[in-house]
C-alpha cells in the first residue's frame, strides 16, 4: 500500500472511531489487503448528487462516519446560506440495510448544528421526501438510498429548498464544505435532539391528495375499475404509498406480488432491485401471466423509478423500456388534456438529452413546448422552477424509468406515475385496445424510434482513469462516420461546443457543462456517451428511427432497427 493509504488506515485505527470499526479494519488487513486498498485509496466523493457507494469501513465506503462528515459539511453550508433564521430540513430513507441508522445519524448531526429536522418515522419513497420539503417550507433535505443499486450499496442524496436535488451553485458549494471536513472530530454528532420532529401519516395524506388530483379521467377509471393490475415494490418503499393510491384512484382489482411485498434490504428475490432489469420483474411477470392481467408495474427500492409490462397483439408479455414508457405517458397526458378541454397554450414538457427524440416530434406536432435538459432529474426540476409562472409544466421524464407528473414535487415520482400509467391502461381498454396497440399507433403516426443502452463498468483504482481516457479518445479522434453514415454533429457538453465534422462549422451549446458526447448521424441515428458521476461506469445510448407505414409492418421494421443498432455497436467496437 502507498503512503497515503497507510496514513488513512492508521488514522482510523488510532482515531475517534468505535472499536467494532477498528476490529473490522484489522480483520480486512489480515485477510484481504486488496479490499483494504479499495476501502481507503480515496475519500468517497461527495458528487453533485451526494454520496453513493459500497457499505463498509473506510474512507471510500458508505458508513456512519462518511455519512456524518458529509452531513456536517452540508449543515455548514445551510448555516452560511441562511444566517439568523430557522433552518428546516426533511430526512427520509428507503428499505436498504442501515438506511434507518444513516437517516438518524443525519438527523442528529443536522440538529446538533442548530437545524430543525423533520424525520420520517419509518421508510418512505424518495418522491415523498421532495414533496415534504416543499410542503413544510424546508431549506433542504436528505434521503438515504442507493436507488436501484445492489444490496451492498447505500447512499445519500441532498436536496435544496425547491424539493429538487442540488444544482449550481449549491452543488459545488456544498461539495467544498464537505471537502473541508478533514476529520470525524469536526462532526457535531449530538446535542440537538429536541429539534427533531417525527413525521409520517399526515404527510402521506397530503401526498395522496396531491397525487389523486393528477388524474385526468376518473370517470373512465370508474368504468374500468376492475382493470387487472399487478404491482411489485421489489422489497422497497413503494408498498407504503402505491397500493393505497391505486385504491383512492378507484382501482379495485390490484394484486401485490407477495414474494416482493415486504421491505427488505437484502433484496432476497433479485440481484439488482431495478425495474429496468428483466430479472427483477420476472416474478411479477409470472403472476401477471397467471392472472391474465392488463398491466404489470414495478418500482425500485426508493420508488422513484417505474417499469411496466404489457401484452402484445399475440398475447405475449413484454417489458416496456423507459423511452417507450415515457412516450406513452407524455402522449396520454397531452392528448387527454386536449380531449378534456383543459390543455393550455403555455403547456410544456421536459426530457433529457439522452431520452427518445420521438417525444420532441410528438410535442411539436401537438403544439406543446418540449425542452431538453442534461441527464439527471435535478435539471428537469431546475427548468420547472425557471419556467414557474410563465409556462405550465405537465410532465417530465428520462429514459432511465423516471417520470414526474405535475409540478407539486421536484424529483422523479414512481408512486404517482404508477397511478397515471394504470389510468392510461384503463383509458385504452375503454376504447377496446391495449397499451401496446397504442404504442404502435404512435409509431405509425410519428415515426418508429428505437433505443438501446450499453453500460460498461471499470472497477478498481484504474476504473475512472480508463473511462476518462475513453472519452478523451473520442474527443481527439472523432469518427467521420459510424456504420457508414456520416457524423454531421458532434455535441460536446463538457466543452459546451457543437461541431459538424464534415464542414467544420461550430456553435455554442447553452446547457450547463457536463461530461457527455453525442454523435448525430446523417441517417438520424444518435449515439451518446456519458460517464457516471457516482460510479466507475460509462453508458452508451443508441437511438435509431425509421418510418412505420402500418401496424402490420412493425415486426419487420423493428428487426431492421435492431440490426442497425448492432451494426453501430460493432463499428464502434463496444
pLDDT (0 to 100) of residue 465: 84
Cα–Cα separations (whole angstroms), residue 516 to 33, 404, 483, 486, 528: 35, 23, 21, 20, 7
Establish how many alpha carbons lie within 13 A of residue 251's alpha carbon, considering only the half-sphere containing its beta carbon: 29
Q: Does residue 278 carry a pLDDT above 90?
A: yes
213 occurs within a structural domain: no
Give dist(CA 123, CA 444) in Å, integer: 43
Residue 68 phi/psi, 5° resolution? -65, -40
61 shares a domain with 35: no
How far is C-alpha 451 from the chain's CA centre?
18
How is 219-245 classified by DSSP, letter by letter?
Answer: HHHHHTTT--EEEE-TTSTHHHHHHHH
Q: Does residue 216 carry a pLDDT above 90?
A: yes
Q: Does residue 179 carry a pLDDT above 90?
A: yes
Cell of residue 548, nine digits = 412505420
22 occurs within a structural domain: yes
330 shares a domain with 263: yes
Asked whether 345 and 352 are in contact (CB, 8 A), the reply is no
Per-residue pLDDT tens over the stretch 127-177: 999 999 999 999 999 999 999 899 999 999 999 999 999 999 999 999 999
153 occurs within a structural domain: yes
Residue with cell 497507510: 6
Cα–Cα separations (whole angstroms), residue 141 to 2, 51, 180: 38, 14, 20
Cell of residue 228, nine digits = 387487472
431 shares a domain with 304: yes
210 occurs within a structural domain: no
Give dist(CA 307, CA 401) in Å, integer: 6
**CB atoms inside a 10 Å sphere around CB 555:** 10
454 shares a domain with 441: no
Question: Which residue pairs, CB below 8 angstroms and at least 24 apart, start in 108-111?
Answer: 108/189, 108/190, 108/192, 108/193, 108/196, 109/68, 109/71, 109/72, 109/75, 109/187, 109/188, 109/189, 110/71, 110/75, 110/192, 111/191, 111/192, 111/193, 111/194, 111/195, 111/196
Asked whether 331 and 362 are in contact (CB, 8 A), the reply is yes
Establish how many alpha carbons lie within 13 A of residue 213's alpha carbon, considering only the half-sphere containing its beta carbon: 10
Asked whether 526 and 40 are in contact (CB, 8 A), the reply is no
476 shares a domain with 523: yes
Say how many domains are in the chain: 4
Give dist(CA 24, CA 57) in Å, integer: 7
Per-residue pLDDT band at 48 (split at 50, 70, 90): confident
413 shares a domain with 546: no
528 occurs within a structural domain: yes
Read off the CATH number of the domain in which 560 is found. 3.30.310
Residue with cell 473520442: 474
Task: Using DSSP bridges, classify how beta strands 254-256 and 229-232 pair: parallel, antiparallel or unpaired.
Answer: parallel
218-249: burial string, b at 16+ Cβ within 10 Å, e else: eebbeebeebbbbbbbbbbbbbbbbbbbbeeb
Asked whether 349 and 396 are in contact (CB, 8 A), the reply is yes
Per-residue pLDDT band at 1 (split at 50, 70, 90): low
**CB atoms inside a 10 Å sphere around CB 431:** 11
369 shares a domain with 262: yes
Q: Does residue 306 carry a pLDDT above 90?
A: yes
453 shares a domain with 558: yes
Give dist(CA 392, CA 347) in Å, integer: 5
pTM: 0.95
Contacts of 436 (CB under 8 A, 6+ apart): 310, 311, 312, 313, 318
Mean pLDDT (the chain, rounded) = 95
488 occurs within a structural domain: yes
Cell of residue 434, nine digits = 391495449
Per-residue pLDDT band at 460 (split at 50, 70, 90): low
Q: Which of 424, 446, 468 finishes a domain? A: 446
Tell me the sheet residues that pair with 52: 155
pLDDT (0 to 100) of residue 534: 59
174 shares a domain with 151: yes
428 shares a domain with 280: yes
Give dist(CA 148, CA 303) in Å, integer: 9
Domain extent for 13: 1-41
469 occurs within a structural domain: yes
Q: Which of 199, 227, 245 finishes a domain? A: 199
Q: Which of 99, 130, 147, 528 is catalytic?
A: 147
Cell of residue 481, nine digits = 462516420
Per-residue pLDDT tens over the stretch 224-268: 999 999 999 999 999 999 999 999 999 999 999 999 999 999 999
Cα–Cα separations (whole angstroms), residue 181 to 72, 358, 534: 8, 46, 20
What is the percentage of the chain residues whose pLDDT exceeds 70? 99
214 occurs within a structural domain: no
Cα–Cα separations (whole angstroms), residue 486 to 34, 483, 517, 523: 46, 8, 16, 8
Per-residue pLDDT band at 461 (split at 50, 70, 90): low
**CB atoms inside a 10 Å sphere around CB 385:** 16
Read off the CATH number of the domain in which 165 is found. 3.40.120.10
Per-residue pLDDT tens over the stretch 2-46: 889 999 999 999 999 999 999 999 999 999 999 999 999 989 988
Give dist(CA 328, CA 561) in Å, integer: 20
**Cis before 213? omega within 30:** no
362 shares a domain with 318: yes
**278 given a catalytic annotation:** no
253 shares a domain with 190: no
The separation between the first and the last C-alpha atoms of the chain, rounded to the nearest angstrom, is: 33
Amino acid at each position: 500500500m502507498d503512503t497515503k493509504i497507510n496514513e488513512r488506515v492508521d488514522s482510523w485505527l488510532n482515531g475517534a472511531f468505535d472499536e467494532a470499526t477498528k476490529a473490522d479494519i484489522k480483520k480486512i488487513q489480515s485477510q484481504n489487503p486488496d479490499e483494504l486498498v479499495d476501502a481507503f485509496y480515496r475519500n468517497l466523493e461527495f458528487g453533485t448528487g451526494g454520496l453513493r457507494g459500497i457499505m463498509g469501513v473506510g474512507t471510500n465506503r458508505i458508513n456512519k462516519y462518511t455519512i456524518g462528515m458529509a452531513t456536517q459539511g452540508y449543515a455548514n453550508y445551510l448555516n452560511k446560506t441562511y444566517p439568523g433564521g430557522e433552518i428546516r430540513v426533511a430526512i427520509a430513507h428507503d428499505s436498504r440495510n442501515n438506511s434507518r441508522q444513516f437517516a438518524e445519524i443525519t438527523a442528529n448531526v443536522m440538529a446538533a448544528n442548530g437545524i430543525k429536522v423533520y424525520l420520517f418515522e419509518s421508510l418512505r419513497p424518495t418522491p415523498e421526501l421532495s414533496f415534504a420539503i416543499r410542503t413544510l417550507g424546508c431549506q433542504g433535505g436528505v434521503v438515504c438510498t442507493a436507488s436501484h443499486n445492489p444490496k451492498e450499496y447505500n447512499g445519500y442524496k441532498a436536496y435544496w429548498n425547491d424539493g429538487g436535488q442540488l444544482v449550481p451553485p449549491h452543488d459545488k458549494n456544498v461539495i467544498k464544505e464537505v471537502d473541508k471536513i478533514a476529520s470525524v472530530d469536526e462532526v457535531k454528532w449530538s446535542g440537538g435532539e429536541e429539534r427533531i420532529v417525527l413525521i409520517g401519516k399526515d404527510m402521506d395524506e397530503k401526498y395522496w391528495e396531491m397525487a389523486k388530483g393528477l388524474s385526468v379521467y376518473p370517470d373512465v377509471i370508474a368504468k374500468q375499475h376492475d382493470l387487472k393490475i399487478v404491482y411489485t415494490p421489489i422489497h422497497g418503499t413503494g408498498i407504503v404509498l402505491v397500493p393505497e393510491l391505486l385504491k383512492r384512484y378507484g382501482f379495485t382489482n390490484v394484486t401485490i406480488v407477495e414474494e416482493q411485498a415486504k421491505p427488505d434490504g437484502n433484496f432476497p428475490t433479485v440481484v439488482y432491485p431495478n425495474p429496468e432489469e428483466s430479472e427483477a420483474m420476472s416474478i411479477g411477470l409470472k403472476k401477471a401471466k397467471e392472472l391474465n392481467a392488463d398491466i404489470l408495474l414495478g418500482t425500485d427500492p426508493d420508488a422513484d423509478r417505474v417499469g411496466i409490462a404489457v401484452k402484445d397483439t399475440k398475447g405475449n408479455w413484454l417489458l416496456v423500456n423507459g423511452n417507450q414508457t415515457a412516450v406513452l405517458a407524455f402522449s396520454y397526458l397531452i392528448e387527454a388534456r386536449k380531449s378534456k378541454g383543459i390543455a393550455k397554450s403555455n403547456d410544456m414538457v421536459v426530457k433529457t438529452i439522452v431520452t427518445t427524440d420521438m417525444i420532441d416530434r410528438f410535442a411539436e406536432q401537438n403544439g406543446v413546448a418540449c425542452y431538453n435538459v442534461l441527464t439527471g432529474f435535478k435539471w428537469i426540476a431546475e427548468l420547472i422552477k425557471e419556467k414557474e409562472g410563465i409556462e405550465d409544466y405537465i410532465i417530465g421524464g428520462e429514459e432511465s424509468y423516471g417520470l414526474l407528473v405535475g409540478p407539486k414535487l421536484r424529483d422523479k415520482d414512481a408512486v404517482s406515475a404508477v397511478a397515471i400509467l394504470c389510468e392510461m391502461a384503463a383509458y385504452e381498454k375503454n376504447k377496446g385496445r391495449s397499451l401496446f396497440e397504442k404504442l404502435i399507433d404512435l409509431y405509425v403516426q410519428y415515426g418508429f424510434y428505437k433505443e438501446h443502452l450499453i453500460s460498461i463498468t471499470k472497477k478498481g483504482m484504474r476504473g475512472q482513469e480508463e473511462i476518462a481516457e475513453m472519452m478523451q479518445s473520442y474527443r481527439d479522434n472523432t469518427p467521420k462516420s459510424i456504420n457508414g453514415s456520416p457524423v454531421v454533429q458532434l455535441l460536446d457538453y463538457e466543452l459546451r461546443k457543437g461541431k459538424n465534422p464534415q464542414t467544420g462549422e461550430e456553435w455554442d451549446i447553452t446547457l450547463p457543462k457536463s461530461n457527455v458526447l453525442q454523435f448525430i448521424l446523417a441517417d438520424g441515428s444518435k449515439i451518446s456517451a456519458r460517464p457516471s458521476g457516482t460510479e466507475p461506469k460509462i453508458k452508451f445510448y443508441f437511438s435509431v428511427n425509421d418510418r412505420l407505414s402500418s401496424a402490420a409492418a412493425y415486426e419487420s421494421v423493428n428487426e431492421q432497427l435492431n440490426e442497425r443498432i448492432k451494426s453501430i455497436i460493432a463499428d464502434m467496437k463496444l
